[in-house]
Amino acid sequence: MGLTRGETRGYTQTRVRAFRDAAFLALWGGLPVFAAAQAAVPGLLRIGSAAIVRGRVEARSEGSPAVGRVLGSGQPVYLNDRITTDAAGRLQILLRDETVFTIGPNTSLVLDEFVYDPSSGIGAASVSVIQGVFRFITGKIARRAPSNMKVRLPMCTIGIHGTDVMGVVAADQATVVLKSGRITVANEAGSTDVDRPDFATVIAAGSAPSQAFAASREMLDSLGGPLSPSKPAPAGPAVPGQAQDAPASEEPAPSGPVDTTSLDAHLASVEQQTPVLPEGAVSSWDSIRQLQGIGAYDASAAFNGVGAAFPPGTTWDIHLSADFNARSFVPGSAASITTPPGPTGNFNTTLLNLPSWDGLSGAATLTFGMVQPGCTASTCFYTIFFVNRDGQAGGQIDAAVAYDDGANTGSGSMTIPRR
């Protein structure tokens, strides 16, 4: 059920469920929080990581108002975090079940609920988008039990059915666009099913969601632009009902019954065209499996380390060769944290026994743990995202590193074009 105006405070105060496995709690506490210089925040439950950060992104725990952080790539996000971006901010969050949330400038959301047992895949998740532009690709929770994943807006709730969705929340109105899968958008006044890609519904405060309609190219571009980490945000997303600089021939969103004959004809013409991949968005494994040949991703960047193990001049490196024909990485692909010559040595991780991505689904992302004293797979790791670039899936990799062995911490991020 959607939320009415004046209930913002209420829908950020959420149920916190107890986990049955206490070891799970220990496993996910411990990454650096503020510029890699602070320890994990005591009493907060980590549920994922900030994978890609642009501009200023702040997080504040709704359950502990005194705790505020500036998020950087590779740093943790916690249950009940309220996350806010500034006018230049963009953020991509990877939750533990591989759900990916991307938010644009001037956006605020709350990580309301997250329960997940990785051994069984059973869990539940709820996220509230308060304002701004967002996109999410569902992970393992929704794939196993779609009804256990909810995205709440002030005007409605989005019910999930294996889904890639983007939208925008304004003061009195929201727009939700389906990219793949199926959704049910509902509030107290009614509900609408959306089951065609690039179809949308508009939800005005106090009104039922509109009947689904074909989103215009202008609407799709204005929503996708602010979510791209490599492009400046346009003046604002297209919100039906507000003035837009649209071409004179642009038809307004229908408010009555949809002409399914013309829509079917439109879909047929679109299917004959080459699909356009959203620039800067995380690629899907389906799109990665369409690639051929070898893709090399090599880069080095400064490592933001704190502790005796990471003296000034420490760097981290990624050397990956993707064999798209074999749908796996070439043996010898590696990542490392490299310190200047001295007694501390290097933190090398050769990525052995890498899984084939032949059977993977959803967002094209992988996480690799480091084998180092004091580390676990969830406290010292590299994460990579295949990203659409120049119209090609996997045209770049966005990579992040996080390290916490109890005595030393660090993090870093970089964008690596394919060559």
Report how far residue 213's alpha carbon sits from residue 197's, in angstroms, rounded to the nearest whole number.
10
Which residue range is the domain that position 391 belongs to?
285-417
Is 380 inside any structural domain? yes
Is 264 inside any structural domain? no
Q: Verify that 191 and 47 share a domain, yes or no.
A: yes
Which CATH number do you get for residue 184?
A: 2.60.120.1440
- Taking residues 106-112, what's their average pLDDT? 93
Is 276 inside any structural domain? no
User: Which range has the worst mean pLDDT, 90-94, 289-293, 315-319, 410-414?
Assistant: 410-414
Q: Is 80 exceeded by the pLDDT of residue 335? A: yes
Structure tokens at 281: 């968005």
Report how far residue 366's alpha carbon sits from residue 357's, in angstroms, rounded to the nearest whole number.
10
* Among candidate residues 241, 257, 276, the one where a domain is terminated: 241
Is 18 inside any structural domain? yes
Q: Verify that 88 and 210 share a domain, yes or no.
A: yes
User: Which range has the worst mean pLDDT, 80-94, 324-338, 376-390?
Assistant: 376-390
Is 82 inside any structural domain? yes
Is 266 inside any structural domain? no
Domain tally for the chain? 2
Q: Verify that 236 and 290 share a domain, yes or no.
A: no
Which CATH number do you get for residue 347?
A: 2.40.160
More confident call, 31 vs 139: 139
Taking only the tens place, the pLDDT of each residue in 338-375 is 888 765 556 665 554 566 888 877 778 887 777 777 87
Q: Is 50 exceeded by the pLDDT of residue 258? A: no
Q: Verify that 181 and 34 share a domain, yes or no.
A: yes
Residues with Cβ < 8 Å from 247, sequence gap 6 or more?
Answer: 218
Is 73 inside any structural domain? yes
Q: Verify that 323 and 223 share a domain, yes or no.
A: no
Is 331 inside any structural domain? yes
Taking only the tens place, the pLDDT of each residue in 191-243 is 999 998 889 999 998 899 999 999 988 888 888 777 765 544 343 444 443 33
The predicted structure's pLDDT at residue 374: 80
Q: Verify that 294 and 195 share a domain, yes or no.
A: no
Structure tokens at 122: 């059973």
